[in-house]
Structure 1
Amino acid sequence: MVKGNGIAEEYYFTAQDGVLYATGGGRLPPSDFDVLGRITLCVLILKDGSEVIGESICADPALSNPEVERATARRRALTKAFLHHGGTLTLVGRVV
């Protein structure tokens, strides 16, 4: 991942990953397991210490593309970061 001047760290995971981790790998009903796997989260930790989360939810499993879902989640997190910083967040040498 390319981190800009304003981003210290970025993480991606699905809601399925998060629930499995939080429950110690506990069993989920198959329908919940599938739905949670289509929710992608991007967590950006900014250099000022603030955090923002972006999400992407794919309604149709046949159209699910992890790369597209991560990009969508990141774009939404960046939008929140931009709003949080009043339009002054700098990424890769440019103000976004």
Structure 2
Amino acid sequence: MNMATNTPLTDEQSTEAAIQRAGKTAPRVTLMDIEAVVTSEFYFTASDGVFGASNYRPISDRSGVALGLLTFCVLVLRNGFTVTGESACASPENFDAQIGCDIARKNAREKVWALEGYLLKQRLHVVE
């Protein structure tokens, strides 16, 4: 719990706090590093994508409902590379656009963590 704001810490914040408590100071990728490489983000459902690509919005049939429950997040990184994350909702009654966006962004950020971790390891390897 973040006592200053009375909000729960994210897994990433909890991990960073544990690393700091343990006194670990070697180079690592941080949440700030991840946020710094994201220059823009876009959200849409598969239904939005079909409509944008074909000007057809299937809303009444089964596939139309399903497409509306699949949310995408596209993160554009500082170097122009794009990373995607997805979130699929099984029950239309449970669909919440904001929750779908949050989950899709979290999934996209996981990919950025892996990419940034690779880049850090490569930089450390070159120094060795």
Into which bin does the TM-score normalised by the smaller protein fall?
A: 0.7 to 0.9
Q: Which amino acid aligns with 2:72?
A: L
1:53 equivalenced with 2:84 (yes/no): yes
Between structures 1 and 2, the one with greater strand share: 1
Percent sequence identity over aligned pairs = 35
Q: Secondary structure at the match of 1:48?
A: coil
How many aligned residue pairs are there? 87
1:44-77: CA deviations, max 9, x gaps? 0000221100000000111111111100000000
| Residue aligning to 2:69 | 38
The CA deviation at 1:26 is 5.6
Distance 1:51 1:21, change over 3 A: same
The CA deviation at 1:8 is 0.9
| Residue aligning to 2:42 | 11
Between structures 1 and 2, the one with greater helix share: 2
Residues 42, 74 of structure 1: 8 Å contact kept? yes
| Residue aligning to 2:98 | 67
| Residue aligning to 1:93 | none
Higher relative contact order (CA 8 A, sep 6+): 1
Q: Which amino acid aligns with 1:35?
A: A
- Give the aligned CA root-mean-square deviation in angstroms: 2.1
Q: Give the TM-score, by structure 1 length.
A: 0.81
Q: Secondary structure at the match of 2:55?
A: coil
Residues 59, 65 of structure 2: 8 Å contact kept? no
The CA deviation at 1:25 is 2.8
Q: Give the TM-score, by structure 2 length.
A: 0.61
1:9-35: CA deviations, max 9, x gaps? 100000000001101236576111100
Runs of 4+ in 1 over 6 A off after TM superposition: none
Residues 82, 88 of structure 1: 8 Å contact kept? no
